[in-house]
A and B are shown apart, each in its own frame.
Chain A
């Protein structure tokens, strides 16, 4: 994209070195660098066999618990067929 130029005698207000220095964030730079270079998980969880088994067990347990809960709920409610009301 070709910029549009605006030329004025004084130009835009010049920032001082101190004002620019206030934006310096070396710690943030290193943090982002390490985040980019060394991600928290090198392998995605589903590719790590141990993590995969652990995830599988959690999912199976969740299914089991929900099945049991559903069964108990069905047992509590007598097989009442919906009655028509006139």
Chain B
């Protein structure tokens, strides 16, 4: 959906909730994948995705278009839903494939081999939650820095700077392998 068209659809949905359907149809799969990557279970992901859209619908009158895709705002709501769910859990496991980790591995100059991948996994696990979140959004979800900023409630420059700092920390953790 083009930004200009998306803005018009959002305005229509703000005026009449019945016209939220195009946004729901367009972003359902994207948000479901985002949630499923973190929650793991299918039914749970469906519930959290549905809850995300309900919260978005209820908060839509307050939404202000900032020239960024609507999905960034949805990601933010979805993350809040996931955080609420994680409060009840003792451990959170994020399953990833090599293909998903490739952009991060390239950025860190690490080869896609079993040993290196395990080092990345343990390195990510050593990061603080807010640091890990930056890496997830940027490299696993493929968001732009502007979108990462919107999701985390910070500016684009701050998102870029923080991501580079986290990458430096991660490279240190990976140093023995490189």
By a beta-carbon cutoff of 8 Å, the part of chain A in contact with chain B is 1-12, 15, 17, 20-21, 23-26, 28-30, 32-33, 36-37
State A5–B173 Cα separation when bound (angstroms): 15
Known pairs A1-B129, A29-B50; A12 contacts B124 (CB<8 A): no
Chain B CB count within 10 A is highest, among A2, A3, A7, for A7
Determine how close the nearest CB of chain A comes to the CB of B123; give it in whole angstroms.
9
State A29–B58 Cα separation when bound (angstroms): 11
Q: List 13 A-B contacts (CB under 8 A).
A: A1-B129, A4-B125, A9-B114, A12-B40, A23-B32, A23-B49, A24-B28, A26-B21, A26-B24, A29-B53, A30-B17, A30-B18, A36-B58
Interface SS of chain A: mixed
The reply to whether A23 and B46 form a contact with Cβ atoms under 8 Å apart is yes
> Which residues of B from 82 to 141 have beta carbons under 8 Å from A?
86, 89, 91-101, 114, 117-118, 120-122, 124-125, 127-129, 132
The reply to whether A6 and B50 form a contact with Cβ atoms under 8 Å apart is no
The reply to whether A29 and B93 form a contact with Cβ atoms under 8 Å apart is no
The reply to whether A3 and B94 form a contact with Cβ atoms under 8 Å apart is yes
Determine how close the nearest CB of chain A comes to the CB of B67; give it in whole angstroms.
27
